[in-house]
Amino acid sequence: MSKRMSKAAFFVAIGIAWSLACAGPGLAPQPVPDEQRAAYDAALRKRFTDPVASRSGLEAFIVRYPASPMADDAALRLAEQAFSDGRQDEGRRWLGSILTQYPGSDGEPIARLRLAQLEYARDRKVAARGLLDPVDLRRLPADDAREALELKVSLSQTPVERMRYLARLAAVLRDAESRPQRGTMTTSVDTQRRDVERRIGELVAAAAVPELETMLDELDRRSPAPAIALELARRAVESGDAEEAEEKLERAGRLAQNDEQRERVDLLERRLEERPAGVARTDIHAPAGLAPLRELSEYTRPDTRGARGTIGVVLPLSGDFAEFGEASLRGILLAAGVFRPAAGGVEGGSEEDAVLRTSASDADRLDLRVVVRDSGSDPARAAEAVRELAAMEDVVAILGPIFSDEALAAAEAAEAAGVPLVTLSNREDVTQGRRFVMRTRTTPADEIGVLVDYAVDRLSARRFGVLYPRTRYGRGMRKLYADAVAARGSKLVTLASYSPEETDFSNVIKEMVGFRFLTAGERQAIAARDKAVEAARSLPPAQAARARSEAFAKPGPNGDPLPPIVDFDVLFIPDSADAIAMIAPGLALQGVRDVRLLGSSDWLDENLLRGADRHIAGAVVSAPFFVGSDVGVVREFVEAYRSTFAVEPEAYAAQGFDATNLVLQQLAAKRRDRVAVRDGMLAVRAFPGASGSMTMLPDGNARRRPFLLEVSGQRFVPLD
């Protein structure tokens, strides 16, 4: 049952789908005296011709034969009639009477299921679980057992529990498919099974490695154990740990049940052989084991209560990058619970030292000193600031700087001083060869990786295209994209570029879809098609659409398809919103349709939605932060930030907030010295932050799962 189903529709559905069975499978029905059977049947026969008389007859039956084996069936029928007539409260009372007056009867499991469905529709999940948990599904008719499993899936509190019930539901549906049924019934069961298998695939892709291992242990060799084993093997191969990968591949090979699964094992084995020894896949994207933020935040939040200690901050609060430093500092101060007095001058670029302190009125409050230094957007000053803070014995960790040159200089100084440095840079080599340096900001590789994973796993894309600007950024994104596509075993079939000054994209788009090398005959055929399409403009809409389809369906002079030849499923365009506003309409103009566009965080611009929304409808975008997210940890951060600073938060503020919470989490765990804080941070896994999910890798780099958004109307809508 969909959670979005309206209450009215829900009650109607209960009335229509009410189980007609009196006993579940495997239970021998109790003998019913003839007079009781006759009285019950007489009341039931009138349910369509005289519902009032039928209702009275069933009520009289319960009064006259309260101990009858059919009394619970009469109560179920009365509940059914009440719901059908819109008398929900009365229907609930009849169902409740079965639980209290006829416990253990064959009607009790059905009554519990119906009541649980009603409670779930009222968003009372705890009550629904309490009603459903005691139900032995073997005592329910087949359709009701499937409904009960669907409800158990909806009520699941962890990915492992959700998989437990999805796997059982898939098995029940496969069993139902194998039995002779009417045609429409077979189609319905087949559709349900495919939907459940799709959900299983999504859950496998999103679950963390420990969760997948637990699922595999529970399932033993039952489906979807082979798929889970393959996913674990894939992640092990991607991690670069050859020994673990070989172990996981051996297990996946044992569990493989068909040729497709065995072929996937062979492909992973070849990829493992091709990967240089000891090279982990840190340059592509976040581990698939990192669950979406929405799922993580359901069962865990950063706990910083009682954090005590001193942390240092080195940020560019003056100079060319002051705007980004100020945003980061606001996020840090918000996480630390300290706010600079209005008269201070840190955010405005003062070179004076700033020491901020919280108050601790009870054990759960923070008791922190935050010592802030301005790097002035200068690498030398950043390094000097780190050395100065490291000389303070009570400083257990330093946050910042942000950009590459400052971060590298600060990292060298921090390593020499043996103080943990949590940089807000996206330069991954800042941690290389350094034991005390960590990096937490979302990288372009993180953004691209989650896009490619979504395209493969959710959009079933296999052929990828990229259209990019010939800039350092564009070329870098193209390479990361190509690596990510190859890592998923897919093909990059279209690659095209344009000048960053370009304003007319028609030529590059035409080249991309096969217009570059045309024979004279093909050019004539295309000219004739263009005339037919132009003439169709004067026709009524339905006729015009038909005429255009017929025009584009005509082959060339040799019987081959004419351009546009759109041989890609998705197209990645890593450019600004201004460029996309020109490119997207141009794609449609050249006949590039039914292709999903993929975009980077540069697309997040309201003007793009207003100007090109119909041309980018359905596009999928990844971003390191999304202010409109409704996930609790993000929403709480956004509300606190707005109320404190009277401005909208951005990615730099959110990532400063998260980095601070990582450190505070160590202090709350009573890690007081620098080595303990460093070790505690490196052990962080599946951290739910305002800027997305995060896991720290042993080399000090954070892997992030950015936000995935879809363009819907004039809005960016979260996908996970």
| Highest mean predicted confidence (pLDDT) among 5-19, 157-171, 619-633 | 619-633
Sign of CA dihedral 216, 218, 221, 222: negative
Q: With a threshold of 0.85, does the pTM exceed it? A: no
Q: What is the pLDDT of residue 563?
A: 67
Smallest Cα–Cα separation from 325: which of 377, 369, 368, 370? 377
DSSP strand pairing (715-718 vs 707-712): antiparallel
For the stretch 546-567, pLDDT in tens is 887 788 778 878 777 776 777 8
Q: How far is residue 323 from each of residues 123, 320, 347, 410, measured CA to CA in Å? A: 44, 8, 9, 20
Q: What is the pLDDT of residue 239?
A: 65
Instruction: Give the model's confidence band at 510: pLDDT under 50 very low, under 70 low, under 90 confident, else very high.
Output: confident
Q: What is the pLDDT of residue 203?
A: 84
Q: How far is residue 253 from each of residues 123, 201, 263, 568, measured CA to CA in Å? A: 43, 19, 10, 32
Is the pLDDT score of 181 beyond 50? yes
Query: What integer is the mean pLDDT of 617-622?
Result: 94
568 HSE (CA, 13 A, CB side): 24
Q: What is the pLDDT of residue 365?
A: 57
Query: What integer is the mean pLDDT of 326-351?
Result: 66
Is the pLDDT score of 188 beyond 70? yes
Is the pLDDT score of 288 beyond 50? no
Q: Which residues pair with 206 in a beta bridge?
A: none
Q: What is the pLDDT of residue 546?
A: 84
Is the pLDDT score of 662 beyond 80? yes
Instruction: Give the model's confidence band at 280: pLDDT under 50 very low, under 70 low, under 90 confident, else very high.
Output: very low
Q: What is the pLDDT of residue 360?
A: 46
Question: Which helix (DSSP H) or strand (DSSP E) does residue 292 occupy?
Answer: none
For the stretch 431-475, pLDDT in tens is 988 999 999 999 999 999 999 999 999 999 999 999 999 998 998
C-alpha 57, offset from chain centre = 53
Q: What is the pLDDT of residue 686?
A: 85
Smallest Cα–Cα separation from 622: which of 198, 286, 329? 286
Determine which of 557-566, 595-604, 705-714 has the lowest per-residue pLDDT on average. Answer: 557-566
Distance, in Å, from the CA atom of 221 to the CA atom of 591, rounded to the nearest integer, reads 48
Average pLDDT, the chain: 84
Q: Which residue type sits at 673?
A: D
Q: What is the pLDDT of residue 1?
A: 37
Sheet containing 702-705: give its strands across: 687-689, 692-696, 702-705
Q: What is the pLDDT of residue 24?
A: 46
Beta strands in 316-384 (DSSP E): 354-357, 367-374
Query: What integer is the mean pLDDT of 22-35?
Result: 63
Query: What integer is the mean pLDDT of 110-128?
Result: 90
Q: Is 482 within 8 Å of 466 (Cβ atoms)? A: yes
Is the pLDDT score of 572 beyond 60? yes
Compute how many other C-beta atoms are within 10 angstroms of the C-beta atom of residue 4.
6
Q: What is the pLDDT of residue 539?
A: 85
Instruction: Give the model's confidence band at 263: pLDDT under 50 very low, under 70 low, under 90 confident, else very high.
Output: confident
Is the pLDDT score of 540 beyond 70? yes
The residue with tokens 């997207």 is 584
Is the pLDDT score of 512 beyond 90? no
Q: What is the pLDDT of residue 330?
A: 96
Instruction: Give the model's confidence band at 614: pLDDT under 50 very low, under 70 low, under 90 confident, else very high.
Output: confident
Query: What integer is the mean pLDDT of 323-336?
Result: 95
Q: What is the pLDDT of residue 362?
A: 44
Q: What is the pLDDT of residue 438?
A: 97
Q: What is the pLDDT of residue 13?
A: 42
Is the pLDDT score of 484 beyond 60? yes
Distance, in Å, from the CA atom of 650 to the CA atom of 601, rounded to the nearest integer, reads 12
Give yes or no for a cis peptide into 564 (omega within 30° of 0).
yes
Sheet containing 395-399: give its strands across: 354-357, 367-374, 308-315, 395-399, 421-423, 437-439
Instruction: Give the model's confidence band at 180: pLDDT under 50 very low, under 70 low, under 90 confident, else very high.
Output: low
Give backbone dihedrals phi and psi of 461, rounded to 5 degrees, phi first. Answer: -75, 140
Is pLDDT larger for residue 401 or for residue 265?
401
Is the pLDDT score of 285 beyond 80? no
| Highest mean predicted confidence (pLDDT) among 284-298, 338-352, 403-417, 535-549 | 403-417
DSSP calls for 517-556 = S--HHHHHHHHHHHHHHHHHTTS-HHHHHHHHHHHHH---
